Structure 1
Amino acid sequence: MTTLAISPDFTTPSAALAAAAALYLAVGEPLVGRRMYASLGRRRETQPGALVRYFRFTLGFWVLAAGLFGVVYACSPGIAAADLGLAGPTGTTGLGVGIAVLLGVVLGAHRLRGAARDGKHVPGLDEIAALLSRTRQERRYAAAVAVTDALCSELLYRGLLLAFGVGVLGLNLYVAAALALLIYAGAGLYQGRGGIAVFAAFGAVCTALYLSSGSLLLPVLAHAALSLRDLVYVPTVMKGRIA
């Protein structure tokens, strides 16, 4: 049962900014992300600093995105913090599901790390091979990106898009959530069709956590745990990593 009840009242400027953000996330991000990742894949073996530059750009993008989120909130006195998911979790259902998801990620990370150490195939890593760290500097940037991406993408894809769907488009909460999930799935285009499916599945989990807890805290924690697993924890023990 959902504990999320939002009624955001956007001003005209904040609605325009949120609409621009939604348009970019729906159309621009899948295309830009796919092009950037393809470019990184071509340069990864010949340019030692390619991944660090990619990570720096990603961090800069998320800082700007977080700034836009803050401007939308500041420009709309009729939007409460809870309308954007900026509240503590309520109810036991969401908390229980959140704990189960985090435990699943942690246990899965340990199993995948063991497989990587033994030289076995680790599902999902081939699709993000260009993002896997090989040096300590890359690892530090990977950790920063994992946490920043988790926080900022949940603020935008879950917090802002749901509020925009309800407050500006007048959609039912569940319809707004489904639309936001569809947009989020598109962000996985850089990994191909499989990536879209993975983003859709994980996005559904994060959406369920948000709807059931009324807070973005659990989705952010789950997202950060998964990203740290894939970008930092598992690749560290792979052969040829972390010089």
Structure 2
Amino acid sequence: MTISPDFSAASTAVTAVFAAYLLLGEPWAGRRMYGSLARRRDTEPRALVRYFGLVLTLWWAFAALAVAVLLLSPGADAADFGLTAPDRPVYVVTGILLAAAIVAASGRNFHDLTQRGRNVPGLASIEAMLPRTAEERRFAIAVAVTDGVGAELVYRGLLIAFGVGALGLDLYAAAALSVLVYAVAGFYQGYRGVLAFALLGAVFTGLYLATGSLLLPVAVHVFLSVRDLTLPAPEKPRVAHEAAV
């Protein structure tokens, strides 16, 4: 895979500010947002719907900003941002089908574990986001799809292109930097979340570099996000309140 984006002065300035926010501001903003949701989840019936609505708004704004950067750079094209057909379509289609099968099987297993009250690794860190109603489930699916598309466009497409075209980095150095920025986005889940995001970011980045397109990483990201955000929320223990006699 090779890219050679030529960032304009305007797109360089916009992306530099955006990248700084993703690295230094987003981790704390995300942690604060999730902490607020966790505190209100059991007392405000529509807390999760409002949280998902805000997340959707932010992701679409981030995606629009990435597209705006591309439009502001006449010397860059869509392929420099991963918005192109993959180099080996047959392999990519096979990878998508394989990923779908693996994620579906693991999803069924995780669902069975939650139904039996067993521990699912990492579930506690996103418990406040798990849906309990049909409306929340619809929003969860919308967020999962938007997250998969938006995150890949921003963290893989935009940041790697910025690293190469504006910072003058080697492709793989730019890719490593994008993984670092993506890793800290998991801070809302604590330090284990940072490690998990680093691992997933490395996987998504590897898929992008191997295929030259965002198609496969977007598909895998969406599959994983839909699986995780549609798991049933654990049952809360019921506390019996006895009247004093």
User: Above 0.5 in TM-score?
Assistant: yes
Query: Which residue of the partner structure matches residue 149 of structure 1?
Result: 147
CA contact (8 A) 1:98 1:209 kept: no
Task: Note the alpha carbon deviations across 1:171-221, whole angstroms, 9 max, x for none.
Answer: 000000000001100000011111111111111110010000001011111
Amino acid at match of 1:178: A
Q: Which runs of 5+ in 2 are unaligned?
A: 237-245
CA contact (8 A) 2:148 2:222 kept: yes
Amino acid at match of 1:70: V
2:42 pairs with 1:23: no
Q: CA–CA distance in 2 between the matches of 1:89 and 1:116?
A: 37
Q: Which of 203, 207, 210 in structure 1 is aligned with 2:201?
A: 203
Q: Which of 29, 34, 42 in structure 1 is aligned with 2:31?
A: 34
How many residues of Structure 1 are paired with residues of Structure 2 in the alignment?
235
Q: Which of 124, 133, 137 in structure 2 is aligned with 1:126?
A: 124
Amino acid at match of 1:82: A
Q: CA–CA distance in 1 between the matches of 2:187 and 2:123?
A: 15
Greater relative contact order, per chain length (Cα 8 Å cut-off, separation 6+): 1
Q: Where do residues 86-235 of structure 1 align in structure 2 (5 Å cutoff)?
A: 86-91=83-88, 99-232=97-230, 234-235=231-232
Query: Which residue of the partner structure matches residue 66 of structure 1?
Result: 63
Q: CA–CA distance in 1 between the matches of 2:114 and 2:100?
A: 21
Local SS of the residue matching 1:235: coil
Q: CA–CA distance in 1 between the matches of 2:175 and 2:146?
A: 22
Q: Which runs of 5+ in 1 are unaligned?
A: none
Q: CA–CA distance in 1 between the matches of 2:24 and 2:97?
A: 33
Amino acid at match of 2:81: L
Query: Which residue of the partner structure matches residue 43 of structure 1?
Result: 40
Task: Note the alpha carbon deviations across 1:207-239, whole angstroms, 9 max, x for none.
Answer: 01000000101111111111100111x227x55
Q: CA–CA distance in 2 between the matches of 1:123 and 1:72?
A: 38
Q: CA–CA distance in 1 between the matches of 2:165 and 2:76?
A: 9
CA contact (8 A) 1:93 1:212 kept: no
- The percent of aligned pairs where both chains have the same amino acid is 51
Local SS of the residue matching 2:118: coil
TM superposition shift of 1:147: 0.4
TM superposition shift of 1:158: 0.4
Q: CA–CA distance in 1 between the matches of 2:185 and 2:116?
A: 32
CA contact (8 A) 2:95 2:216 kept: no
Query: Which residue of the partner structure matches residue 10 of structure 2?
Result: 13
Query: Which residue of the partner structure matches residue 79 of structure 1?
Result: 76
